[in-house]
Structure 1
Amino acid sequence: MHITQDIAYIGVNDHDIDLFEGQYDVSENGMAYNSYVILDDSVAVMDTVDRNFTEQWLANLDAALDGRTPDYLVVHHMEPDHSSNIAVFAEKYPEARIVASPNAFKMMENYFGSGFVADRRMPVKEGAVLELGSHTLQFIGAPLVHWPEVMFSYDAKDKALFSADAFGKFGALDVDEDWACEARRYYFGIVGAFGAQVQKALGKVGGLDLDIICPLHGPVLSENLGYYLDLYNTWSSYGVESEGVAICYTSVYGHTKQAVEELARMLEEKGCPKVAVSDLARDDMAEAVEDAFRYGKVVLATTTYNNGIFPFMAQFIETLAEHKFQNRTIGLIEAGTWAPKAAKGMQDRLAACANIAYTNTTVTIKGSLDETSRAQLELLADELCGIESDPQLKVDAVTQPTAHVAPDPEPVPGVRVQER
């Protein structure tokens, strides 16, 4: 498949994979490993693919070469789903030179042995160029987007950016799906901790005349590039992408779940533009992380457990902190039968996150919802929606509830708990 007259796509689709990087669910739509070739006076192959697709990739390459021989293999990123076939390429094309950052060559020795392609290396740094004929590749350092050796390269003739893992997404290329949803989940799961480094890379890319972005995962982007660049700028600066509230919860016997469902209903009735609810024990936690970063307001609801908080919530907050979660307003719902104290446990863990503001209202459920905790929910919903509350609600909400145990509640009609 030709992207331009001189740039061909030679990547592969993987529908056998279930977990990308051993943790992100891609079983339904698979994954793409992208590779490209520039056909000019000299021929440059841009990255390889996962080791499970060696023969298919070589066949794609042979078809694109149409009898020619590569002069260069350009390595933008050394993660094994892109670099596994470097040794295969080097053996098949012994005259081709390997172009990569100095850090990438150090990693090649880790994978392929000391002195690997020592006589064929072409180390390049920021600002270096590679002349292919009418095409000239300009190299752009992009360390920690998301490994330390990463480079981008820019082809001025076709105005094409080869962006390594940046602008990638989950999903094979033969699957039709929305770009932003899976690109967002991919970004915050894999690149999200490196927002400062992505911002630096975007600053370098911002001055380029771009018509095409060629990532190592996901589709080639050739229309409305401002949309993708703006999203990456929002994501990497930890800004708010969409107005709405993400509610992430755990529930043992259903009482916390009932509170979450009632809060979701209240928010929708008060005109909240979007309510995304995730059960951290059952739903894809990567999607919950995605929603927490997408929306400006987040509600965390959990049970007091072993004098702390429920394990799935602890894991979720730890994941947020690892990914540099920041600049958000958080509301808390805590539950417990005799000594609810989960709110403090959640706040203690969130201390690792920067610029977190808390709502004035914390909802406390002793046993099950009652008039007092429902009044607290109403206050919380008003705060999240920016509505001035009824003063009587504030009086009711501070009245100490009487602990009691009720049967497991029925779900509130009309609230979809897995709505994203």
Structure 2
Amino acid sequence: MFNPVKIKEGLYWAGAIDWNLRAFHGFTYSTHNGTTYNSYLLIDDKVALIDGVGAHFFNEWRQRVSRVIDPGEIDYFICNHAEPDHSGAIPEMMKLMPKAKIVANQRAKDALLKQYCSYWDFQIVKTGDTLNLGKKALRFIEAPMIHWPDSMFDYLEDDGILFSNDAFGQHYASTERFDDELGLDLIMNENAKYYANILWPLSPVILKKLDEIKKMNIAIKMILTSHGLSWRTYPQEAIESYLRFARGDSAKKVIIAYDTMYYSTEKMALSILEGILSQGIEARLYRLPVSDMGDIIKDLLYARGLLIGSSVVNNNILPGVEKFLFELKGLHPLNKTASFFGSYGWMKDIAAKSTEETLKDAGIKVALPSLNIKYAPDADELKQCFEFGQKFALEVKKD
């Protein structure tokens, strides 16, 4: 039932498919299409099992591994990352691999022992160390904070294969394993959503690591990820996408994210949208409580401008807007320009002030003074909204 996938001679995918996952990282990231937990068997004179799966997927993992080799013949388990979705099944699998050493960096060892309280045999590695398996060798590249302190890549020398763990991955469940099987547009969309919702605040670290790898002068012919599809045809496109994301490259485009009580703020949003479009700038409108947060954040990755709209309730912004701002503060999106608009009853500036403070805390430039309209906008005030959209579009057009 659970068949492995041969990648090339002596190398197999032996992970697990989570068809039903719909939220990740405690409901902070929507996973409409599930995910995979990718694990790889590398067979040479010595045998290495690379990366693990979550605890609930032990049986699936065990069966795929066992259809290639008796787990008792495995010499090394390489733990590139100790987060439970990649390590939860390790305690059970180690019972089937009595001679296997766990190859990990010191941070991963510490994390494994703290989570599972087991006493395994470890071989500690660091950047530049190699593991000789016979004809093939793995070189280790520590990648701290991409996205945990223990994160690590492995490079299969001669073959030019990078085992990238969480980097370049996506949450996408399928029986297909590679980028060229489902189309580049699909994988790039999921790749962007993963980066925006998980890795965005780590962009400076990612830029530095990619530069470090470039200086190593290694040929990367294939990238094998720990989630979703792997990159055998478009590895350079994957790397280039991370460079763009980490630099904060974006298009002259605006995301309008808002909520409304009695549709006054929504009327403002629609007029602002028209004003933006009149300047030849693309824009998308999202009402926050009924839109998917992870998808909005992915779209914001590509957009230079952000407009936040909210009515006032209990001297504050609406809860859906507050939640969105909370996410932005943690993600710290790069090179964004923003402003606030909204309707109010008797507390004119309170929503604008709290929103602008949070935007600044998130590292986002506030370009225009807020637009606040009492109760429902009349015809003249809707014209003000249109002009506000035009002015904001001009801010987005600036280089």
Distance 1:20 1:231, change over 3 A: same
CA positional deviation for 1:267? 2.8
Partner of 2:22: 18
CA positional deviation for 1:352? 0.9
| Match of residue 191, structure 2, among 177, 183, 197 | 183
CA positional deviation for 1:162? 0.7
Partner of 1:47: 51
SS at match of 2:134: coil
| Match of residue 321, structure 2, among 306, 313, 338 | 313
CA positional deviation for 1:55? 1.3
| Match of residue 212, structure 2, among 201, 204, 212 | 204
For each residue in 1:310-351, what CA deviation from the matched residue of structure 2 results, as whole angstroms up to 9, or x when unmatched?
222222112111112242111221210233212222112222
Q: Distance in 2 between matches of 1:373 and 1:335?
A: 11
SS at match of 2:218: coil
CA positional deviation for 1:269? 4.2
CA positional deviation for 1:23? 0.7
On the 8 A contact 2:274/2:386 being kept in 1, the answer is no
| Match of residue 224, structure 1, among 234, 238, 243 | 234
CA positional deviation for 1:26? 4.8
Partner of 2:273: 264
Q: Distance in 1 between matches of 2:24 and 2:122?
A: 30
AA partner of residue 268 (structure 1):
L
AA partner of residue 190 (structure 1):
I
Partner of 1:130: 131
Partner of 1:353: 362
Q: Distance in 2 between matches of 1:111 and 1:364?
A: 50
On the 8 A contact 1:302/1:334 being kept in 2, the answer is yes
Q: How many residues of Structure 1 are paired with residues of Structure 2 in the alignment?
A: 382
Scaled by the length of structure 2, what TM-score is found?
0.89
On the 8 A contact 1:164/1:215 being kept in 2, the answer is yes
Partner of 2:122: 121
Q: Distance in 1 between matches of 2:395 and 2:335?
A: 21
Distance 1:226 1:372, change over 3 A: farther
Q: Distance in 1 between matches of 2:135 and 2:258?
A: 56
| Match of residue 250, structure 1, among 241, 255, 259 | 259
Partner of 1:397: none
Q: Aligned-residue CA RMSD in angstroms?
A: 2.2
Q: Distance in 1 between matches of 2:379 and 2:307?
A: 20
Q: Distance in 1 between matches of 2:200 and 2:151?
A: 16
AA partner of residue 51 (structure 2):
D
On the 8 A contact 1:34/1:49 being kept in 2, the answer is yes
Unaligned runs of 5+ in 1: 389-420
On the 8 A contact 2:271/2:383 being kept in 1, the answer is no
AA partner of residue 72 (structure 1):
Y
CA positional deviation for 1:24? 4.5
Scaled by the length of structure 1, what TM-score is found?
0.85
CA positional deviation for 1:44? 0.8
Q: Distance in 1 between matches of 2:267 and 2:47?
A: 62
Matches within 5 A, 1:269-348: 269-272=278-281, 274-341=282-349, 342-348=351-357
Give the share of equivalent positions with the same residue, in percent: 26
Q: Distance in 1 between matches of 2:97 and 2:86?
A: 18
Which deviates more from structure 2 when the two are superposed, residues 35-44 or residues 193-202? 193-202
On the 8 A contact 2:339/2:367 being kept in 1, the answer is yes
SS at match of 2:6: coil
SS at match of 1:351: helix
On the 8 A contact 1:359/1:380 being kept in 2, the answer is no
On the 8 A contact 1:15/1:27 being kept in 2, the answer is no
Q: Distance in 1 between matches of 2:68 and 2:355?
A: 55
On the 8 A contact 1:362/1:376 being kept in 2, the answer is no
Q: Distance in 2 between matches of 1:264 and 1:64?
A: 57
For each residue in 1:206-229, what CA deviation from the matched residue of structure 2 results, as whole angstroms up to 9, or x when unmatched?
242111111110111012323211
Which deviates more from structure 2 when the two are superposed, residues 284-293 or residues 206-215? 284-293
SS at match of 2:165: coil
> Is it true that 1:373 corresponds to 2:374 in the alignment?
no
| Match of residue 241, structure 1, among 228, 250, 268 | 250
Partner of 2:160: 159
For each residue in 1:1-32, what CA deviation from the matched residue of structure 2 results, as whole angstroms up to 9, or x when unmatched?
12222221111111132322221465642111
Q: Distance in 2 between matches of 1:384 and 1:5?
A: 56
On the 8 A contact 1:140/1:204 being kept in 2, the answer is no
Unaligned runs of 5+ in 2: 177-181
CA positional deviation for 1:387? 9.0
AA partner of residue 339 (structure 1):
M
